[in-house]
Structure 1
Amino acid sequence: MTQRELALIGPVAAVTRVPAHLVSLCRTSGEAVLLAIRYGKKSQRQVAGDIGMEPAQLSRIVAGNAHMPADLALNFAYAVKNWGWQQWVAHNCGMDMVPRIESPEEKMARLEARVAELEAA
């Protein structure tokens, strides 16, 4: 269980954006992973431990011999406290990341689905 899952333990630092000009300098996913790690002021070993990955595997990702698993994206962002790698993925697709905003209708539909799910259980 992580501190994020137990928010009552103490405050958790917010995940921030990396300046876009730095993200645009990355040519590969591995470079973007390394940028996010360095921008977060952590070592590769620390980040690997935080996300449950072997340090050697993270080293292969940074070197470009492997890829960051998408299912670790959120844990990685929390570990380095920035969206650098995710920003690079979006940038590489010609997009940018923006916060998702739920409309009142979407919120109502989500809540109704959650209530139905709880009632069924």
Structure 2
Amino acid sequence: MISKLTGSLILLTGILLGVHSSMGMLQFKHFVSIHTEASGASGAQSDNTFSKVPMDIIAECLVGLLLILLSVAQLNGNFKEIVNPPQSNVRLFDQLFYSEDFATLQQRKHPLIAVDKE
């Protein structure tokens, strides 16, 4: 488990890598548009030259995404195990259209609307 400060720094690094790769992509698209305008009508060959995104932009974007995902998972804390309700152990899965009921997540300790007790 990493500390909150380290996780926050990794998250910030991932976000900065994502922003930097998007800026690099915008600069690349601007360069391609200027290059195709300058070449005029004979831009058929230049379209093939610049049709692919540079690998450094793709790699930077993927590394940033990976850092963001890992840091968010680490900062979130311990995950709870997903378990089936006890009544599902009794049921057999022999039926063709069997589907378990969805377990409800009860996060709130009180109802949304207060009920008067009289």
TM-score, normalized by the shorter chain, greater than 0.5:
no
| Greater relative contact order structure (CA < 8 Å, 6+ sep) | 2
